[in-house]
Amino acid sequence: MTDTAWIDNALTSARPQAVGALLRYFRNLDTAEEAFQNACLRALKSWPQNGPPRDAAAWLIMVGRNVAIDDIRRGRKQEPLPEDDHAISDTGDAEEQLAERLDGSHYRDDILRLLFICCHPDLPATQQIALALRIVSGLTVKQIARAFLVSEAAMEQRITRAKARVADADVPFETPGAVERTERLAAVAAMIYLVFNEGYSASGDTAEIRSPLCEEAIRLARLLLRLFQSEPEIMGLTALLLLQHARAAARFDSDGAVILLDDQDRSKWNGKMIAEGLALIDKAMRHRRSGPYQIQAAIAALHARAETPADTDWTQIDLLYGALEIMQPSPVVTLNRAVAVSKVKGPEAALDMIEPLAARLSNYFHYFGVRGAFLMQLGRNDEARIAFDRAIALANTSAEAAHIRMHLDRLMRDSTRGAKAGK
Amino acid sequence: MLYAILCYHDEDMVGSWSNEQDAAVMTRLAAVQDKLTKQGRLGPVARLLPTTAATTLRKDDPPVVLDGPFAETKEQLLGFYVVDCKNLDEALDVARDLGKANPGGAYEIRPVGHFTPGSVTK
């Protein structure tokens, strides 16, 4: 690894902790970010010469804080870097003291606060994600814009707006109480899940560009789990993301078309991610405090454990979806459960199950895709065709539409073959 | 004498390697391991999953199961080698070679007191 790659990695991994601590000092996101940037510039100058500091985050916090305080005192924020950097590269004792304090209670709450600010309830989901990727992960505006398939200017504006809203909002800086910490944790987990979904729901042509979002979400989930090692739901969340992302290489063919779970080449699944995901869900279950992330991870785990589609334990999956329905009633959960039911009890029962959802899911692509598939299995081809036509009209991506068209083509072939055979 | 070389590194940092960086490090380490294998000196090698996947059993009475690694430190135990070396100097040489292939972090070199090669093959 080259020297600069090493420094880049060190800066990236120290970032959440350093920005979080700087935010606690300055209570202003822009000042904290700027202080961190300045510290990074100095690190790039100083570390190659003086070697890496023992604790990169502590070094960055101290240097960033000192520079920002100097700037504020001078009232001249655009000051160029001073030529002589000796004073800050030799941070010896002070760095040690600071590191000592960081190991204590602040560390967890600093990072949690930073993450929490990014998913402030005043912000719409799209802004939450963009802000987290910018502030916590340190992705550039250009990288984020690319992942969201919008222009750099549009993304810049989205982030600026989000920051303005956060600045106006009343963000508490004192150490959170137990109840508040739990609420923050839940909000942060939801935001990480959103980041992941942005990457996961990308299809064929955009999957490659957007998959870094999945990796970033996994990194954030691991970070959160390291801070809250005994939270079964955070274990569940991390396991869920790992198990889902493990299938990334098998989910699309070379033309970017969707490959369904049953048809995926399971040798392309990432064994190491699956192993980690299974270990985490295994650990989480021991706590006997179930939650939606754990249940979803347990479902993903049953898929991951099946060596072939036929080995899948659909009965157990049906039960788990049943539990999820009670915890988080939603027509989408019921729709997913119906797929399991179709495997256990047949398409008739599954169709009965989704019939009552029609009104609430009348604009949902997957509802009509699934409904069409059940009807097709029952040989009710004309009705299946109507459902598939509706699905195509509602498709969000070209890959989704292409996948449904494949079903329609098959129906068409079957019906012509059926006519020839005189069926 | 068998020596265990325990690999410590900042997990956040190793976790922020790109897939390419990770693969490059593993390739360089494999070269060092090949050399030792040819000399018949390499015992088991393990890379551990992240400490977030770890569980600790405190042998209190009754034993207590805790989430996470045993010790909460800046650098985590990420894996280990068992290598046959004449003395500490030789073990340090091996560790230096490994270190060149994978800079950063630290190796703890510990003589092995009792060794059972085991029967696990995968």
Residue B24 has a pLDDT of 93
**In sequence order, which residues have a C-beta less than 8 Å from that of residue A300 and are 6 or more positions away?**
A239, A240, A243, A244, A277
Domain end call among A107, A129, A149 = A107
Q: Are residues A78 and A153 in the same domain?
A: no
Contact between B15 and A13 using a beta-carbon 8 Å cutoff: yes
Task: Read off the pLDDT band of A303 (50, 70, 90).
Answer: very high
* Amino acid letter for position A415: S
- Is residue A370 assigned to a domain? yes
Say if residues B17 and B25 touch (Cβ distance below 8 Å): yes
For chain A, the domain total comes to 3
Nearest to A229 among B11, B16, B67 (CB): B67
- Is residue A339 assigned to a domain? no
Q: For the full predicted model, state whether its pTM sits above 0.80.
A: yes
Please give the C-alpha separations between residue A390 and each of A196, A227, A369, A375, in angstroms, as whole numbers.
28, 46, 8, 14
Q: What is the ipTM of this complex?
A: 0.85
Listed residue (B114, B88, B116) closest to B5, CA to CA: B88
As a CATH number, domain B2-111 is 3.30.70.1060
Is pLDDT of A1 > 50?
A: no
- % of chain A beyond a pLDDT of 90: 53
- Is residue A70 assigned to a domain? yes
Query: What is the pLDDT averaged over residues A282-301?
Result: 96
Q: Are residues A202 and A172 in the same domain?
A: yes
Task: Read off the pLDDT band of A240 (50, 70, 90).
Answer: very high
Nearest to B52 among A1, A226, A272 (CB): A226
Contact between A6 and B24 using a beta-carbon 8 Å cutoff: no
Q: Are residues A175 and A141 in the same domain?
A: yes
Nearest-angstrom CA–CA distance, A266 and A14: 36
- Is residue A392 assigned to a domain? yes
Only one residue has tokens 């207590």, namely B64
Is pLDDT of A89 > 50?
A: no
Q: Which residues on chain A place their C-beta less than 8 Å from a C-beta of chain B?
A: 1, 5-6, 9-10, 12-14, 52, 55, 103, 219, 222-223, 225-226, 229-230, 235, 238, 272, 275-276, 279-280, 283, 286
**In sequence order, which residues have a C-beta less than 8 Å from that of residue A330 and are 6 or more positions away?**
none
- Is residue A268 assigned to a domain? no
Residue A38 has a pLDDT of 95
Nearest to B13 among A10, A103, A283 (CB): A10
- Is residue A66 assigned to a domain? yes
Our separate counts of H helices and E strands in chain B read 3, 6
Q: How many CA atoms lie within 13 A of A347 on its CB side?
A: 12
Nearest-angstrom CA–CA distance, A215 and B16: 10
User: How does pLDDT run across A23-65, given as a tens digit for each residue?
Assistant: 988 888 889 999 999 999 999 999 988 888 888 888 999 999 9
Task: Read off the pLDDT band of A348 (50, 70, 90).
Answer: very high
- Is residue A240 assigned to a domain? no
Nearest-angstrom CA–CA distance, A71 and A93: 23
Domain end call among A87, A107, A127 = A107
User: How does pLDDT run across A105-120, given as a tens digit for each residue?
Assistant: 677 888 888 998 888 8
Q: Are residues A76 and A32 in the same domain?
A: yes
Q: Which residue of A has its CA nearest to B55?
A: A283
Domain of A385 in residue numbering reads as: 363-423
- Is residue A53 assigned to a domain? yes
Q: Which chain A residues are within 8 Å of B103, Cβ to Cβ?
A: 1, 6
